[in-house]
């Protein structure tokens, strides 16, 4: 399973502009991280997705969270018990 996850993270990293990627379980434990996103961010990433779900408790949908800065964006999405984060560079327009 670990190899499979590692392969998916590598595949994500190969996309244009991706600086880092992270995968965490619902306890905030890091299952895998690559590139610019450190394993220490797992807890905060999971917490953000948990809090975002509380914004609209009636909605069954898990929202996408984007933390944008001048140079990059961190996108977070929860799927079942797994939270995935992708750190992407901003493409100059």
Partner 1 sequence: MTTSPVTASLDRVPDQVGYLVMNEDGAVMASSGELENDEAAAGVIMKMVDVALRLQTGTDKQEPFKRLSVIYHEHMYMVTISNQKIYVSKRTNEHHEPITV
Binding site for partner 1 (CB under 8 A): 19-20, 35-38, 41, 44-45, 47-48, 51-52, 54-56, 59, 61, 63-72, 74, 87
Toward partner 1, which CB reaches closer, 3 or 57? 57
Task: Using alpha carbons, list the distances in angstroms from residue 85 to 8, 16, 58.
Answer: 13, 16, 24
Residue 82 CB, nearest distance to partner 1 (Å)?
18
Toward partner 1, which CB reaches closer, 10 or 56? 56
Rg from Cα positions in the chain: 13
Toward partner 1, which CB reaches closer, 3 or 16? 16
Residue 36 CB, nearest distance to partner 1 (Å)?
3
User: Which tokens sit at 91?
Assistant: 């493409």
For residue 22, count CB atoms less than 10 angstroms from its CB and return exposed for 0-12, middle for 13-18, buried for 19 or more: buried
């Amino acid at each position: 399973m670990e190899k499979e996850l590692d392969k998916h993270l590598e595949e994500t990293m190969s996309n244009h502009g991706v600086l880092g990627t992270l995968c965490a379980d619902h306890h905030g434990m890091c299952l895998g991280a690559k590139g610019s996103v450190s394993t220490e961010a797992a807890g905060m990433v999971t917490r953000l997705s948990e809090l975002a779900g509380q914004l609209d408790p009636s909605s069954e949908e898990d929202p996408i969270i984007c933390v944008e800065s001048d140079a990059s964006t961190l996108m977070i999405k929860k799927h079942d018990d797994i939270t995935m984060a992708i750190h992407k560079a901003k493409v100059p327009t």
